[in-house]
């Protein structure tokens, strides 16, 4: 039995050795295959990078070089020539189209600069119109001077009457101030009277409130009286039922006494309210008396104000007469003023036209100069 076991162990040992050798041999084979695979992949990647470099990077570099020359030299005739059908070729075509569009745009700008010369010629015409307007304005100015001389005499006469009117106006002003002061006093008196009336109104309102309180108290008394009658009736009924016991009657009697006390208290309250009403009535009477005095004073001040206003009216009459003379002189002045006005209107119109023409000329010339210089500078930098 032991020999059999020993033989089995020997067999297992030899088998294990064989398996280990096979595994080692397999691992070496796999490692070698992996190395070969990596070498092949690297070779393929290198080959692909060369192909990509030739088909993508080189055209991009060519396109970048053309763009750089166009930017540095401002040469819009630069074009990219790449053959093929991929995205790089499409990009080159778009670039060529863009350069053609830029070239056309620059040519259009150049044509616009020529149109600026035409605008400069129009400026010459506008300047001539301005010159003629200035001459017309000078002629109108002479006519204005003549009309002003004619108006001088009339103005002097108006000034003399105006001086007299001013003196009368000062007198009227003094009287007006005096009348104003009297009126102010009357206003103050009326205001004071209004305040007194306001106080009287407040007192009357207080009386009204107290009257309302009396009504409330009387309502309470009326309610108490009704309850007292009801309790008295109940007491009579209870007394009839109770006979000799009389307990219910005693309870009702207590309630009656309580209500009687409340009636007494309410009566006292009514008395106090009546007293207050009397006091308020006295105050109202005094206030009304004071209002009467203030009313008399207001009447007196109003009479004084009327006298002052009469004086003012006389002064106003004097001013009115003087104004009549002023009106006659003003009519003469008006005729001359109309002539002056017509000339001034004409001058204003011409001046306005001159101003507009001058402003337009200035703005146009400045704009043309700026555009011409800018266009000439910019266009000269490009090659189309």
- pLDDT at position 39, please? 74
Residue 363 banded pLDDT, cuts 50, 70, 90: confident
Lowest-confidence pick of 3-17, 48-62, 154-168, 173-187: 3-17
Residue range 221-226: mean pLDDT, rounded: 62
Residue range 151-174: mean pLDDT, rounded: 63
User: Does 225 or 72 have the greater pLDDT score?
Assistant: 72
Q: Is the pLDDT of residue 358 over 60?
A: yes
Distance CA 278, CA 276 (A): 5
Residues in a beta bridge with 133:
none
Give which of 341, 336, 345 is closest to 156, Cα–Cα.
336
Residues in a beta bridge with 347:
none
Distance CA 168, CA 316 (A): 8
User: Does 102 or 131 have the greater pLDDT score?
Assistant: 102
- pLDDT at position 379, please? 67
- pLDDT at position 46, please? 62
pLDDT tens-digit map of 68-101:
776 777 766 777 766 666 676 777 777 778 777 7
Distance CA 361, CA 128 (A): 11
Q: Is the pLDDT of residue 246 over 60?
A: no
pTM assigned to the model: 0.34
Half-sphere exposure of 34 (CA within 13 A, CB side): 6
Q: Is the pLDDT of residue 241 over 60?
A: yes
Q: Are 315 and 172 in contact (CB under 8 A)?
A: yes
Give the helix ranges, DSSP H, for the chain.
Answer: 2-52, 58-73, 87-242, 247-379
- Token digits of residue 274: 């009546």
Please, what sign has the CA dihedral across residues 22, 23, 29, 32?
negative
Q: Is the pLDDT of residue 177 over 60?
A: yes
Residue 194 banded pLDDT, cuts 50, 70, 90: low
The phi, psi pair for 380, rounded to 5°, reads -65, -15
- pLDDT at position 37, please? 74
Q: Is the pLDDT of residue 340 over 60?
A: yes
- Token digits of residue 121: 């010629």
Buried b (16+ CB within 10 A) or exposed e, 58-91: ebeeebeebeeebeeeeebebebebeeeeebeee
Lowest-confidence pick of 114-118, 244-248, 271-275, 297-301: 244-248
What mean pLDDT value characterizes the chain? 65
Residue 103 banded pLDDT, cuts 50, 70, 90: confident
Distance CA 156, CA 164 (A): 13
Return all residues near 103 (Cβ < 8 A) that are at least 6 apart.
Answer: 76, 77, 384
Give which of 165, 103, 48, 30 is closest to 384, Cα–Cα.
103
Please, what sign has the CA dihedral across residues 166, 167, 172, 177?
positive
- pLDDT at position 90, please? 74
Q: Are 59 and 80 in contact (CB under 8 A)?
A: no
Residue range 281-286: mean pLDDT, rounded: 63
Distance CA 276, CA 214 (A): 11
Residue range 20-33: mean pLDDT, rounded: 64
Return all residues near 357 (Cβ < 8 A) that are at least 6 apart.
Answer: 126, 129, 130, 133
């Amino acid at each position: 039995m032991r020999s059999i076991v020993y033989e089995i162990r020997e067999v297992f040992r030899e088998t294990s050795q064989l398996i280990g050798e096979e595994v080692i041999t397999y691992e070496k084979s796999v490692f070698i295959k992996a190395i070969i695979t990596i070498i092949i992949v690297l070779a393929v990647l290198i080959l692909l990078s060369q192909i990509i470099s030739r088909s993508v990077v080189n055209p991009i570099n060519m396109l970048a070089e053309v763009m750089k020359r166009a930017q540095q030299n401002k040469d819009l005739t630069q074009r990219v020539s790449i053959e093929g059908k991929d995205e790089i070729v499409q990009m080159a075509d778009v670039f060529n189209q863009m350069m053609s569009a830029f070239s056309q745009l620059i040519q259009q700008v150049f044509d616009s600069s020529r149109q600026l010369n035409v605008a400069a010629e129009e400026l010459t015409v506008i300047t001539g119109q301005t010159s003629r307007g200035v001459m017309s304005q000078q002629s109108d100015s002479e006519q204005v001077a003549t009309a002003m001389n004619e108006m001088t005499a009339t103005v002097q006469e108006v000034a003399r009457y105006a001086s007299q009117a001013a003196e009368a106006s000062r007198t009227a002003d003094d009287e007006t101030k005096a009348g104003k002061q009297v009126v102010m006093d009357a206003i103050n008196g009326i205001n004071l009277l209004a305040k007194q009336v306001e106080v009287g109104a407040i007192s009357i309102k207080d009386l009204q409130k107290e009257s309302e309180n009396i009504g409330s108290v009387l309502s309470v008394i009326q309610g108490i009286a009704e309850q007292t009658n009801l309790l008295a009736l109940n007491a009579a009924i209870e007394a009839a039922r109770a006979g000799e016991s009389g307990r219910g009657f005693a309870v009702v009697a207590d309630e009656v006494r309580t209500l009687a006390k409340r009636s007494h208290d309410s009566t006292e309250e009514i008395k106090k309210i009546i007293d207050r009403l009397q006091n308020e009535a006295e105050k109202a009477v005094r206030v009304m008396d004071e209002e009467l005095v203030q009313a008399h004073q207001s009447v007196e001040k109003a009479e004084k104000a009327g006298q002052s206003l009469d004086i003012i009216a006389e002064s106003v009459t004097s001013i009115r007469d003087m104004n009549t003379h002023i009106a006659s002189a003003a009519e003469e002045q008006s005729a001359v003023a109309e002539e002056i006005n017509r000339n001034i209107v004409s001058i204003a119109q011409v001046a306005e036209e001159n101003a507009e023409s001058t402003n337009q000329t200035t703005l146009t010339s400045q704009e043309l100069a700026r555009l011409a210089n800018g266009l000439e500078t910019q266009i000269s930098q490009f090659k189309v």
